[in-house]
Amino acid sequence: MFRYVKLEYPEIAGQGLVYMDVWPIGYPIIAVYNPNMMAQFIQENSLPKYWAMPQVEFKYFTGGEDLVNLDGPEWKKARSMFNPGFSAKNLLSLVPDMMEEVLVFRERLRKAAASAEVIKLTNYTTDLTVDIVGRAVLGTRLQTQVGPNRLMQLIKSQLKLIYFELDLPKQLNPLLPLKNWVYNRMIKKELAPYILNAAQNYEKIVGPKTIVTLALKEYVNEVQNHNARGNIPSEFVERVVKHIKIFMFAGHDTTATVLAYIYYMLSKHPTEAAKLRAEHDEVLGPDPTAAAGLIRADPNLLNKLPFTMAVLKETLRLFPPVGGSIRQSPPGHFLTHPETGVRYPTHGFMLHSSASTVLRDADYWPDPDDFVPDRFMTRDESDPWHPVKNAWRPFEMGPRNCIGQELVFTEVRLILALTVREFDVEEAYPADAPSWMGLKGYQVANTEAISTAHPKSGLPVKVKARK
């Protein structure tokens, strides 16, 4: 929407931002289109999240008491608690566990190829990323790829109660608080055993530690009496549950979408697919079936796949699952255009960093609608293809950038390393299906369930086994 506002009103948007009042559909908003102006309220001065996020949108899901919505000292404390688990080093140590789930995914693709049936690719990638998040965050096998999982069914059901725009049936439903209370109670019952086990048995855990285990380290170190850990305050468990819910929601959905789009883009661009496979042959050897053993023995091999990372970054540029961040401006706050010096007042508006617009803006990206992974292989900053500073922001930037981006980098490289040399996908949309921006698999919103963008119709494809 914001991209097309910019295309429709180029002279206004050329000032770097657009003021809009979309009442009663939403709140007064400033869409910011200049990446250096975004930096003023996202990076240089990280403003708090817009008030409606914790108080309205996520009010019942987490009470706004999660890593996405918290602000100030509470946010800093939570971020520092979870940073160790999301570090690149720790995530690489979890690769062998993640690999078990990827091998289940690979087998599902083999069966789909053998049957020649049309599958919805996002169903497969979503099941996989749920299982990977389960291993990384909780250290358990949710086995969503095998059958329905109660925890994720509860979380997805509660997500359907969230509204991000005008939705009178939900907003006026007198049973909404009760339904959320029931879901919160059931989800806490599912998650509490993992939290209590991690806190009570921290020293006994051998080998790689999950994100929750490392997050609880601070608490565990404070409780020196081992017996006292059996009486962990319910409020503490409640707080950790809220963080886990956000991780499970954001951690699986966005990654599943990006992964599906990578397969889709590779099917549309055989030259780039060949380069990707050549990199895997060079780093992991010519036998695709041997890759799992090599990566299990040395997960650092994933860091030697720069073109694979470039493919991921280019796909995220074209299809960011989230359009940008929204922030609350204090009284007297202004944004300054870096070239003209004009100052724009922002108080009273939702500030939106329109990342999805910048990521396809010809002012910052040559041939912005083309799939060109090599732009992320360019190291010469004077090269016009080199990404412009502050312009690549699918995870946003600054101190509040997405804590899970290293998890995305790790799991996507692992999944591609174990699958792209064995399979191709072929889109299976109806012949008369509409195209938009050159693709039948364009991004759509599913406000019934979630706020992020998804491929149209779940991206129907046929999986083909490669010889």
Asked if the structure places residue 438 within a domain, the reply is yes
Asked if the structure places residue 383 within a domain, the reply is no
pLDDT of 448 reads 57
Q: What is the rounded distance in angstroms from the CA atom of residue 247 to the CA atom of residue 244?
A: 5
One-letter identity of residue 324: G
Domain that includes residue 294, residue range:
65-322+394-465
Asked if the structure places residue 340 within a domain, the reply is no
Q: What is the rounded distance in angstroms from the CA atom of residue 174 to the CA atom of residue 170?
A: 9
Contact 254, 237 (CB under 8 A): no
pLDDT of 222 reads 61
Q: Spell out a b/e string for 393-419, using b for 16 or more CB atoms within 10 Å of the CB, else e.
A: bbbbbbebebbbbbbbbbbbbbbbbbb
Asked if the structure places residue 389 within a domain, the reply is no
Asked if the structure places residue 366 within a domain, the reply is no
| Strands of the sheet with 460-465, listed across from one edge | 118-120, 460-465, 423-427
Asked if the structure places residue 348 within a domain, the reply is no
pLDDT of 18 reads 97
The tally of domains found in the chain comes to 1
Asked if the structure places residue 262 within a domain, the reply is yes
pLDDT of 236 reads 83
pLDDT of 227 reads 52
Q: What is the rounded distance in angstroms from the CA atom of residue 266 to the CA atom of residue 423?
A: 11
Chunked in runs of 10, what are the mean pLDDT values of the chain (467 residues)?
A: 92 95 88 97 96 92 94 92 92 96 98 97 95 92 93 91 83 93 96 84 75 78 55 82 89 89 98 98 96 97 98 97 93 96 96 96 96 96 94 95 95 98 97 94 76 89 95
CATH number at residue 163: 1.10.630.10
Contact 331, 340 (CB under 8 A): no
pLDDT of 349 reads 95
pLDDT of 1 reads 86
pLDDT of 229 reads 57
pLDDT of 358 reads 97
Asked if the structure places residue 353 within a domain, the reply is no
Contact 267, 335 (CB under 8 A): no
